Each structure stands twice: as C-alpha cells, then as structure tokens.
Amino acid sequence: MNDIGIVSMSAVGSWKQVSARLEKTVSGYSEADLQREVAPGRNRIYYLVGHLAAVHDRMLPLLLIGERRYSELDEAFLTKADRVVADSISGEELREALRVANLEVTAGLEGWSAEEFLKRHSAVSEEDFAVDPLRNRLSVLLSRTNHASFHLGQMLLVK
C-alpha cells in the first residue's frame, strides 16, 4: 500500500468508526426516546437522526458516488429547525434512511482508488479547485465525520 493509500484508509476508518457508533446509538432509542430533547429546549433526537440522514444522503452526489435517495428529508431536517415542520415520518424510517445513506457512502469510499480522495467534489468548480486543491473529497469526508461526532455527542446525553 502506498502512502496515499494509508492516508485514505485512515480517513475512511475514522468515518466508519463514527458512523458505526452513531448507528449503534440510534438503534438503542425507542420511538419515545427519539422524541426527547438532547437538552431542555434543544433539538429532539428525532430531528438529529433526520438531519444526519439528510446530510449523509447529500454526500452521495457531493462526492460523486451516486444519486440521492432521501431528498424529501431536506425541508424538515436541514432547511428548517426542529418542530417547524410537522412530523410526517416515523423514527424508524429516519433510522433506516441514516443506515442506508451511511452504507452507500461507505461502499462508495471503499471502491475508490487512493487518488480519488484528492479529486474535487461536485460543489467546487474546476477553476476554483485549481486555485485551492484542499477543496477535495477528503476534506468533505473529514468535515462530515466531525459533523456526525458533534451531534453524536449531543445524542449521547440522552440515555
């Protein structure tokens, strides 16, 4: 394995570790638990699961892995804050969306050659990428892994 191979495996390992912990945590909540707020007046776990499902689903086109599956989540879980849109989807469905999105992102990453991590993502133009090669797929992966850790820390406040 060359150096870039080791690096990309480190980053994918970090993503997989956080994703696995996230899914394990989420699978431990009942529908009633999902309705609990992570702290008084803050987001419900229900919202955070939908939020992470939407964000991870959006990684598929962003990383040029494939098409989105759950764009209907954006309005309630990404554009708007918790409780602005009436709940129209079960916690179980959100959990499944998160599981599928994580699975597809991971499968996509694992199919990449090491060099693909350094290619541009779909939200940066070729011109801008030529100026700033740090706007690559690896940076997206690191950023989303941190984002998932951020909300995982909040969810784990509810037992």
Task: State which residue, 81 or 142, has the beta carbon closest to a second copy.
Answer: 142
Residue 21: its H or E element: helix 3-27
Residue 147 found at the interface with a second copy (CB under 8 A): yes
CA gap 104, 19 in Å, rounded = 12
Please count the CA atoms within 13 angstroms of the CA of 71 that sit on its side-chain side. Answer: 4
By the rule CB under 8 A, 152 interacts with a second copy? yes
C-beta of 11 vs 85, nearer to a second copy:
11
119 forms part of the interface with a second copy (CB under 8 A): no
Q: Which of residues 24-53 bind a second copy (CB under 8 A)?
A: 38-40, 42
| Least Å from the CB of residue 48 to a second copy | 10
Other CB atoms within a 10 A radius of the CB of residue 111 amount to 9
Written as six digits, the tokens of 1 are: 């394995």
Residue 20 touches a second copy, criterion: CB under 8 A: no
Q: For residues 52 and 54, which CB has a smaller minimum distance to a second copy in the complex?
A: 52
CA distance 16 to 18: 6
113 vs 125 by CB, closer to a second copy: 113
The tokens for 108 are 């996509």
